[in-house]
Amino acid sequence: MTNATITENPLLIGKGLPPFDKIEASHVVPAMTELLKELETDLTNLEANLAPTWEGLVEPLTKMEEKLGWSWGIVGHLMGVKNSPELREAYEKMQPEVVKFYNKLSQSKPIYEAFKELRNSTDWDKFESAQQRIIESSLRDFELSGVGLEGETKERFNQIQLELAELATKFSNNVLDATKAFKLKLTDKKDVEGLPDSALSLMAQTANLSPNPSSVEKNIPLTSPLVGETERGGEGSIEATPENGPWVVTLDYPSYIPFMKYAQSSELREKLYKAFISRASSGELDNKSNIDRILELRKEKANILGFDTFAELSLARKMAPSVEAVDKLSEELRVASYDAALKEFEELKAFAGKDDLKHWDTTYWSEKQKEAKFKFNEEELRPYFPLPQVLDGLFSLAKRIFGVNIIPADGQAPVWHEDVRFFQINDEQDETIAYFYLDPYSRPAEKRGGAWMNDCVGRAKMTVEGKTTTRLPVAYLICNQTPPVGDKPSLMTFMEVTTLFHEFGHGLQHMLTTIDYVGASGINNVEWDAVELPSQFMENWCYDRPTLFGMAKHYETGETLPEEYYQKLLAAKNYMSGSAMLRQLHFGLVDVELHHRYQPGGDETPNEVRDRIAETTTVLKPLPEDNFLCSFGHIFAGGYAAGYYSYKWAEVLSADAFAAFEEVGLDNEVAISATGKKYRNTVLALGGSLHPMEVFKQFRGREPKTEPLLRHSGLVASVSQ
C-alpha cells in the first residue's frame, strides 16, 4: 500500500463500527505504522501542554487511548475470529511497536505527576465517583506499569513487557494450530457406534470440508496413524454421509465432547483424550518452554515493581485483598466439594462395574449414569434448542427482568463472516441504547476455541463542535457452538445454551451501563474477580421455568419441551456438582501456586506443581502424558494469570445476587421486575464507577455470603428445609 492510499485505509477511520467488509490483513502494517507515528506526536504535545485538570489531562489521554484501542482492538478481534497466516504475520510485526508505545505512555512521568496533582487538588470533592475511580486507578496503573523505574531497570522492565506479549501470542497460536491439526478419520461403522445423529452429521460435514492430504498442516507431529489422513475434498473423493461416513472427529469442542460422551469404543476415546490433553506439547508447537519463560518473566516483572510474587502484583488490581483471602475461599469450597466428588466417583465406578475407570471413560460413563438416573440424555434436548428459538427466549428474559427490547439489526453493520448477526437494544421508551454482534458457531480453521465477550465501542459522552451526544456501546459476543448441519438450524446442547446466556451477561454489563466516562463505563475499571458476576448470574435463568419454556420448542413441530424433561433437567442440575466444582478449584489453585509459591528454574517443573496440587483437588490423578498446562490459554495467553480463582470468587457474588430473585419468588412477576430493575441500576449500570463491593451492597444491602453458591450446587441442604 502506498502512502497515497494510506488515507483510504479502513483501520484509520478511528471511530464508529468497524468496516469489516473492507479490512484486509494488508491494511494492518501501514495503518498501525501511521497511527503510532501520530500518537507519538500527540503524546509529545500532551506532555508539553499538561494541565492537571479533567479537561486538560484525562480527556486528551482518553482520546489517545481510544484512537489506538479502536484500530488495534479490531486487529486483535480478527486474530480471534478470522485468524490467517497473513494476519498473524502483520500482527506479530506490529505487536512489539504497539507494546513499546503503551510502555512509553504508561511510564510518562509528566502525565503521572499531573494525575497526582489532580488527585490532591481542591477540586477532588467536586468529581463524580466515576471520575475519582478513574483518577485513582490511573495512578495505580502508572505505578504498576513501571513509571517509577529508571535506567537499566526500566529498560529491562520494557523488554519483559515486549517478550511477554510475544509469548502470549505464540502460546495462543500454538494451541489453535495444534487443535486444528488433529483429525481422526473413521471409515468403519463399528468405530462410530453409540454416537447420536447430530455428532455423525457434524463428523460427515467435517469430512466433506476437510482438505485433501496436500493441504493438511505441515510439520505437525502426528499423534496417531489416523491423523491427517483425511481424503475429503480431493478430486474424485466420495461425498461423506452421516449414515455411511467417512467421519472425521476433531479436537474442537462440538466434535470432541459428543465423541467422549457417546462413542462406545474405549480405544478410540483413549486416542482422542490423549490427543486432547497433549495439545501443543510436542514438536514445533510445544508450549512447555513458553510456559517456563512466561512464569520466569512474570516473577521478574513483579520483583522489579517491588512485589514478592506475580500473584501479589495481579491482586493489586483485584477485589480479593490478598493471596491468603483467595486461598481461604478456595479451601472452604474445596472442603465442601472434595468428599462429594470422591463419593460421586465411587458411585460412577460401581455403576460402570469397573474398578479401574480410566480418564477417557469418565465422560462416557457419566453420561450413561445420568441417563439411567434421570431417564434422559442431553441429545434428546437438542431439537428443543434451535438457536433462533433460544435467542427469542434470552431476549424475552432480558425484557422481563431488565425492561429492554432486543431487535435484529442485520445488514446495518458490516460483519467478518456471513454467520455473524447484529442486534440493537432499545429501552422502555423505545430509545436505542446499545448494539451487539453475535458470532455463534465453531470455525476451528480460523477461530480460537471457547466463548468470550469483548467491547467494540464503549459508552461515552462526546462533545464535537459544541454539541454533546452519547456514544452508544457495542459488544462482540463470541461462542463456539455446534454449527447448522445441512438444512437444520444450529441445534444446541443445554451447555451451549448456558454458555450463550453467560456471554450475554457480560454483554449486558457493557451495554446497559449508564456511566458516561469511558474509563469506568461497562466492564472498564471493574476488578477482574468481579467481572464474572453478571455472566454467571445469567446462567441461573436457564433453569427458570418461564425462561426455559419460553425458548425450548422443537425446531420442526414447535412443540414445547415436555414437563417431564424440565423436571429431569432440574433433577440432573447438580449431578456430579462436587466434581465440577473441584475441577474449577483445581485450575484456580494450580494458577495461584504457579504464580505465588512456585520458583521458576527450581526443583519442580510446572507439570510437577500441577500433579502435587492434584493430590487434593482431583479424584483421578492426571496421566503422565497429561500436558493440560500447554493449552491453558486462560492463564498463559489471556487475562486470567493469577486470576483464574475469579470464576469462583465471582460465583459467590452471582449466586447471592440470584438468591435475591429467589427470595421474592421467581413466579412473582411484579417483584421480579422490581428486583431486576434494582440489579440493572446497580450491577449492570454502575460499571467501574464504584468498587464492586459497594455496587454489590447497593444491590443486596449487605456483603455476599457463600451459602447460596453451595446451595445452588447441591453441596448444602436448602435453607428452607
Q: Which positions are catalytic?
A: 503
- Indicate the DSSP class of residue 622: P
Q: Go through 606-629 and write b for each residue having 16 or more CB atoms within 10 A of its CB, e for each that does not.
A: bbebbbebbeebbbeebeeebbbb
Angle at 262 between CA 259 and CA 267, to 5 degrees: 65
Cβ–Cβ under 8 Å, residues 482 and 491: yes
Write the CA distances from 2 to 22, 27, 706, integer angstroms: 17, 11, 60
DSSP string, 409-460: -TTSS--SSTT-EEEEEE-TTS-EEEEEEEEEE--TTTS-SS-EEEEEE--E
Rounded Cα gap, residues 416 and 628, in angstroms:
31
Which residues contact residue 5 at a Cβ distance below 8 angstroms, ignoring those fewer than 6 apart?
Answer: none
Rounded Cα gap, residues 187 and 249, in angstroms:
11
Task: Look at residue 408 and give its three-state secondary structure.
Answer: strand
Q: In this structure, what are the phi and psi dihedrals at residue 520, rounded to the nearest 5 degrees?
A: -135, 10
- Given CA atoms 332, 336, 338, 341 in this order, what sign does their dihedral have? negative
- Residue 477's H or E segment, with its range, is strand 474-481
Q: In this structure, what are the phi and psi dihedrals at residue 276, rounded to the nearest 5 degrees?
A: -65, -45
Cβ–Cβ under 8 Å, residues 521 and 473: yes
Cis-peptide, bond into residue 246, ω within 30° of zero: yes
Strand partners, 463: 468
Rounded Cα gap, residues 359 and 193, in angstroms:
20
Q: Go through 92-123 and write b for each residue having 16 or more CB atoms within 10 A of its CB, e for each that does not.
A: eebbeebbebbbebbbbeebbebbeebeeeee
Task: Look at residue 360 and give its three-state secondary structure.
Answer: helix
Q: How many CA atoms lie within 13 A of 425 on its CB side?
A: 26
Residue by residue, what is the 3-state secondary structure of 206-261? HHHHCCCHHHCCCCCCCCCCCECCCCCCCCCCCCCECCCECEEEECCHHHHHHHHH
Torsional class of 297: left (φ above 0), alpha (ψ -120 to 50), beta (otherwise):
alpha
> How many residues does the structure list for the chain?
721
Cβ–Cβ under 8 Å, residues 27 and 11: yes
